[in-house]
């Protein structure tokens, strides 16, 4: 009887750890192999959990893939304290080539492979700023 009492929490914890590991591996692969672009911030929305504010913010973005049309995407992420985002800011994001709906913020290593997209004026401004 005692083994069944401990078996259920162990199975649940193993499932949670396995899910975290799987998501982490997917993100690492996407950071290595995904397409890195600059996206324009449209708006920011606070995320609430059970009607209480959360440290997570939903960021609505415009992304333009090379040779494609501009489309709206959103990511939910934590914004560090003291960092301010306003509409119009360009953020580096990684897009999954096999599933274009999957978008995550780019890390320091993947930003080095960023492709400049957008209008000619935007690309010139980004090059002059060293992006």
Q: Determine the topology of domain 34-128 in CATH.
A: OB fold (Dihydrolipoamide Acetyltransferase, E2P) (2.40.50)
Mean per-residue pLDDT of the chain: 84
In this predicted structure, what is the pLDDT of residue 123? Answer: 62
d(Cα 89, Cα 75) in Å, to the nearest integer? 15
Residue 94 CB neighbours (<10 A): 24
pLDDT in tens, 48-83: 889 888 888 899 998 888 777 788 898 888 888 788
Residue 131 has pLDDT above 60, yes or no: no
pLDDT in tens, 19-52: 999 999 999 999 888 888 888 889 988 888 898 8
Q: Give the Å distances, CA to CA, from 85 to 2, 9, 27, 44.
A: 53, 41, 23, 8
In this predicted structure, what is the pLDDT of residue 126? Answer: 63
Question: What does the block give as tokens for 61?
Answer: 């973005």
Q: Where in the chain are the domains?
A: 1-33, 34-128
């Amino acid at each position: 009887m005692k083994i069944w009492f401990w078996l259920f929490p162990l199975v649940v914890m193993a499932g949670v750890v396995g899910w975290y590991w799987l998501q982490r591996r997917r993100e690492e692969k996407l950071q290595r192999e995904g397409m890195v672009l600059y996206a324009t911030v449209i708006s920011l929305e606070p995320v609430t959990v059970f009607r209480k504010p959360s440290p997570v913010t939903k960021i609505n973005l415009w992304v333009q893939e090379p040779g494609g049309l501009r489309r709206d995407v959103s990511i939910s992420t934590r914004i560090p304290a003291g960092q301010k985002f306003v509409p119009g800011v360009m953020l580096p994001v990684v897009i999954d080539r096999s599933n274009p709906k999957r978008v995550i913020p780019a890390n320091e290593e993947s930003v080095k492979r960023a492709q400049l997209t957008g209008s000619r004026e935007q690309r010139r401004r980004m090059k002059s700023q060293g992006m």
